[in-house]
Structures are given as structure tokens and as C-alpha cells.
Amino acid sequence: MSVSPPPPSAEAEPYDCGMLDVGDGHRIYWEVRGDPRGKPAVVVHGGPGSGCSPRAPRAFDLGRYRVVLFDQRNCGRSTPHAADPSVSLLHNTTDHLVADMERLRHHLGIGRWLLYGGSWGSTLLLAYAERHPERVTEIVVPSVTTTRRSEIDWLYRGVGRFFPEAWDRFVTGSGTGPDGDLVGAYARLVEDPDPVVRTRAVADWLAWEDAVVSAEGMGAPYAARPSAGQTAMVRICAWYFSHGAWLEEGALIRDAHRLGTLPGELVHGRLDLGGPVHTAWELARNWPGARLSVVESAGHLGGAETLRLVRAATDRFAA
């Protein structure tokens, strides 16, 4: 492992990286940026299935943090990759990912670490923290979700009232009616033996995701991904959401008391149509150590004010 810390900038290259065998034929990619002697933090990416982003370390002063990034099972640089239709997702569940995080922490010799992540990443890090609170120093979450079935139903049905044209196309692509199991239908379509069916389902799913964030002025971030990344993310998203992420409905909010006074900084956009701020408010109400900041002008993807608040939190926790 290298001992020469890079300069404290978000563009610094990883000073260490590797592939970790986590069992079931899976190997997850990991990398570390920042100061090898700094405060340990781990970035838990969203999606599920998006892969880690090299932009994520912007949330940290890399002169004071040792930031771990990793690609969750079947995505990013982890293997086997879900872009291959023959790859099974059976050993890719929330429990598997929580266990992978623990293996990675142990592999890197980290006793306790700060958890950072938004969207699906907040679901996974909350599941991890509620099972292993003794391994967590603080939590920072931009864009809170807990992947309850009610939240999934809102994202793929309820919010359609704001984008009726796009939602009608999404429903049509599912092959079901508006009252059908849309997510379940897409989970089947992306596993279809016909590549034309799979490709169309991926495109229809991503078009809907982009429609939901279209008012945030950031283009079409989901459709802009490389094709292999698109396929992997949609397969994994549909797999997780069609199973309610294998979580008891409402359990993460119900059990937030397990985090006690563990410091948490929650930052959520008032204009997040896909994940309304109510979930963040519920979580903060049930977690004594959490503080919620609502950014009036931000949506799900955040922005300059979201980043400022997140960075202020990590700077404070670094001290």
C-alpha cells in the first residue's frame, strides 16, 4: 500500500485499489483516495447498480480523509458484470452488500468509518449502520431514501401525475396497464431471452428516470451512461425494487433509534419529486443524532448548495 498522500483535491488519483473476493463468485472493485493517515470514510453509491463515481470525493477534504470507494456487486468494475445477460443476480441482495461492506472494512484494516451516500446509497448505508453501529463514526446523506415499497410505488407510479406523457410511455413499455406491477414487469423484460426486448426495456426505464429529474436542469444523466452501465443498472434496479430490497417495510425508519446519538447529517432537496422530503423528515424524527437540512432550490441530484452543506458536515466531522 502506498504511503505517499496525494494533494488534497477531489481530482486526486487513487493511491490504492484492488479486487476483493466476497464469495459466491463475486469480486468487488475498491479504491482509496486522500491521505492514508486521514479519517476513514466510505462512499456508498446509488442506483442500485450505478457504480462509484470519481466525483464523489468532492464531498471530502482529501487532505484530512482516507476515502474508500467501491463498486457494489455486478456493476462498475466489479465482476461478474450484470451487462452480461447470462450473469445471475441471485447472490446480489441487500444482505450480501452489507456483508461485502464489512469484508471490505476488515480487508482495509479500518476499525470505524464515516458513511457517505445518497439515494439508494442511503438505504444501503442505513441498513449497514443499523446492523453495525459500533463500526460507524458519523453518517452524511444527500438525498434520503429507504426503498420502502411505498417509495418505490411513488417513484414508478405516483410521480407520474407530474409527467403524464412520459409515464404513459413507461406504462406502455411495461406491457401492463397503469394499475399493473410496473417494476415487476420491467424486471421480467430485462431478463427476456430476446436482446431486442431487453434493449427496449432498458431504454424505456432510463427514459422514465430521466423524465423524473428533468426539471432539475441537468440533462438526461441516466441515458448518458455507457450502454453496459445502463444495462447493469436497470437490471439491478428492477431486481432490487421488485423485491422491496429484501427489507421489511419501514424497518430502516422504525429501527433508526438503534443509531442513537450517532451523528448524522441529512441534506434533502425540497424539489426532489422522485424522493419527496417526507422520508428524510421521518428518518430525522426517529434518529436522535440526526440533523436535517432542506435545500429549497434542490432536487434529487442536488447542486451547489447541497454540496456546500455536505462538505461543511464532513469538514466538521474531520475535526
Q: What does the alpha-carbon distance between residue 164 and residue 181 come to, in Å, rounded to a whole number?
A: 18
Better pLDDT: 285 or 223: 285
What pLDDT was estimated at residue 78?
A: 98
List pLDDT tens digits, range 72-103: 999 999 999 999 999 999 999 999 999 999 99
What pLDDT was estimated at residue 143?
A: 96
Burial of 293 from C-beta contacts in 10 A (0-12 / 13-18 / 19+) = middle
Share of the chain above pLDDT 90, in %: 91
Residues with catalytic function: 119, 272, 300
List pLDDT tens digits, range 21-30: 999 999 999 9
Alpha helix (H) residue ranges in the chain = 94-107, 120-131, 149-156, 164-174, 182-189, 195-212, 227-241, 251-254, 278-286, 304-318
What pLDDT was estimated at residue 3?
A: 34
What pLDDT band is residue 227 in, cutting at 50, 70 and 90? confident
What pLDDT was estimated at residue 315?
A: 98
Task: Tell me the CA distances in angstroms from 40 to 10, 17, 45, 66, 317, one per residue in order.
Answer: 16, 15, 16, 5, 11
List pLDDT tens digits, range 120-153: 999 999 999 999 999 999 999 999 999 999 999 9
What pLDDT was estimated at residue 12?
A: 75
Mean of the per-residue pLDDT values for the chain?
Answer: 94
Under a CB-based contact definition with an 8 Å cutoff, are residues 31 and 14 in contact? yes
Quick check: 225 pLDDT over 80?
no
